Amino acid sequence: MKRPMIVAALTGVLVLLVPQLGAAQDGSEQPSGERINQLIIYGEDPCPASSDGSITVCARKDEAERFRIPALLREDPNSAANQSWNERVKAYETVGAAGVNSCSPVGASGASGCVMKLVNRAYAEKKQSSDVQFGKLIEEERAKRMQSIDADTAAEQARVEVLEKAYEAKLAKERAAETAAAQPSVSPSQGSIAAPPQD
């Protein structure tokens, strides 16, 4: 009774997650506007270079893994052999649990906690997973790109300041020429007539 319900819940969660996983692997555009291309390469295959402002992140695996079923699908992570003794003892804490959020067939709304239990278990497995973590690789690639930003910004600022000074010098020359043209020129042969003193 319990197993078909868990299988149905897992199937529902997978149906919702598969399109999102496909989009993330496909080089989709991130909310920040940058394109991220995530690839798994095997053996000595070269990682394609980033182009057009996109970030290309490659995770390298052994050549022997090229045609194998992914490691996550080869074994059952929920088998007793893969669980620590502490986790097995924790399971005894919920033996008599019944009612709302208990994931139990007993009592009203007993099954309401099963989905939450599956979600928590999935997050715990993901946290302990030895599979490739593309998030860390992407952050490392961003950090590499950010290292050169300060030097590029300083060089651009210096170029802008040189251009501004040249423009200001040109404007000053033009203003000086305009004021010189606006003033009437007085020739030295024409003397100024002095007004007679008045008492």
Domain boundaries, the chain: 1-68, 78-132
DSSP 27-58: TPBPTTS-BEEEEEEETTPPPPPP-TT-EEEE
Q: What band does 154 get if pLDDT is binned at 50, 70 and 90?
A: confident
pLDDT at 190: 53
95-136, pLDDT tens digit by residue? 777 777 777 777 777 777 888 888 888 888 877 776 667 778
Closest by alpha carbon to 178, among 190, 170, 189, 186? 170
